[in-house]
Amino acid sequence: GDSVTQMEGPVTLSEEAFLTINCTYTATGYPSLFWYVQYPGEGLQLLLKATKADDKGSNKGFEATYRKETTSFHLEKGSVQVSDSAVYFCALSPPSSGTYKYIFGTGTRLKVLA
Amino acid sequence: GAVVSQHPSWVICKSGTSVKIECRSLDFQATTMFWYRQFPKQSLMLMATSNEGSKATYEQGVEKDKFLINHASLTLSTLTVTSAHPEDSSFYICSASGAQYFGPGTRLLVL
């Protein structure tokens, strides 16, 4: 079945460091790919998405490129801030029209130190 | 943008009671909504798919008699945790079809 694998955390970085959180997926066809962020005590917020191969999603300095050949969607940010501390979830939505039934990775906790 | 709300955001109840959680799509119609459960420090697990006007579809291992889902209108789905027990304590999150947005979640604590 479809699945998402994320790198295990926690990831601890100093402010202004470069961030990469790896995400690979297994799916039939061409799923849509997402990154969600969850701040402490809050629900999920959509961070960025990509719906087809080679698409690059970007938001708030975060980027991820849909790589069909490597079935990956790694999250990157050039310079993290303390406010980026959160749990990041990679997710996919199988190619079904009109619905968003998500399959999530286990989440990667990021802690950014001042 | 599309907004999904949940009510209540927090609920504490005694063991054996039932708790109802509402999920509303505020500015769009959703024929399908999804209910997820999140355990502490873990990922979201899909519990069931809520279909307007028909029965919900439950994922393997989820007790349909325990977690009653009603999707009575195009903007409202409810999840009722019946005869709740401490092991049902969790964070319940809904999402709506046609939108990549999730509700803010409902934290349930069963004493």
User: What pLDDT is attached to residue A23?
Assistant: 97
Share of chain B above pLDDT 90, in %: 59
pLDDT band at B99 (very low <50, low <70, confident <90, very high): low
Q: In angstroms, what CA-CA distances link A19 with A15, A76, A77, A110, B38?
A: 10, 5, 5, 9, 25
Nearest CB to A100 within list B45, B99, B103: B99
* Region class of A54: left (phi > 0), else alpha (psi between -120 and 50), else beta: left
Contact B43 A104 (CB under 8 A): yes
From the first residue on, what is the mean pLDDT of each consecutive set of 10 residues in chain A (114 residues)? 88 97 92 91 86 95 97 97 95 71 89 96
User: What pLDDT is attached to residue A95?
Assistant: 77
Asked if the C-beta of B42 comes within 8 angstroms of chain A's C-beta atoms, the answer is yes
User: What pLDDT is attached to residue A97?
Assistant: 47
Contact B100 A98 (CB under 8 A): no
| Residues contacting A84, CB < 8 A, separation 6+ | A19, A77, A110, A112
Q: In angstroms, what CA-CA distances link B21 with A93, B17, B28, B30, B108?
A: 24, 13, 19, 17, 9
User: What pLDDT is attached to residue B72?
Assistant: 84
pLDDT in tens, B64-79: 999 999 998 889 999 9
pLDDT in tens, B47-63: 999 888 889 999 999 99
Question: What distance in Å separates residue A43's CA from the closest CA in chain B?
Answer: 4
Average pLDDT of the residues in B23-44: 86
User: What pLDDT is attached to residue B35?
Assistant: 93
Contact A105 B43 (CB under 8 A): yes
Is the pLDDT at B1 greater than 60? The verdict is: no
**Alpha carbon of residue B18 to chain centroid:** 14
Question: What distance in Å separates residue B111's CA from the closest CA in chain A?
Answer: 20
Contact B100 A34 (CB under 8 A): yes
- A87's enclosing H/E stretch is strand A86-93
User: What pLDDT is attached to residue A82?
Assistant: 96
User: What pLDDT is attached to residue B31?
Assistant: 84
Chain A residues with CB-CB distance to B104 below 8 A? 42-43
User: What pLDDT is attached to residue B98?
Assistant: 56
Chain A residues with CB-CB distance to B101 below 8 A? 46
**Residue A108 token pair:** 């990667």
Question: Integer distance in angstroms from the first to the last C-alpha of chain B?
Answer: 37
User: What pLDDT is attached to residue B91?
Assistant: 92
| Weakest-pLDDT range from A38-42, A48-52, B3-7, B23-27 | A38-42
How many CB atoms are located within 10 Å of the residue A48 CB? 20
Give CA–CA dist B53/B74, Å, rounded: 9
* Nearest residue in chain A measured CA to CA from B42: A106
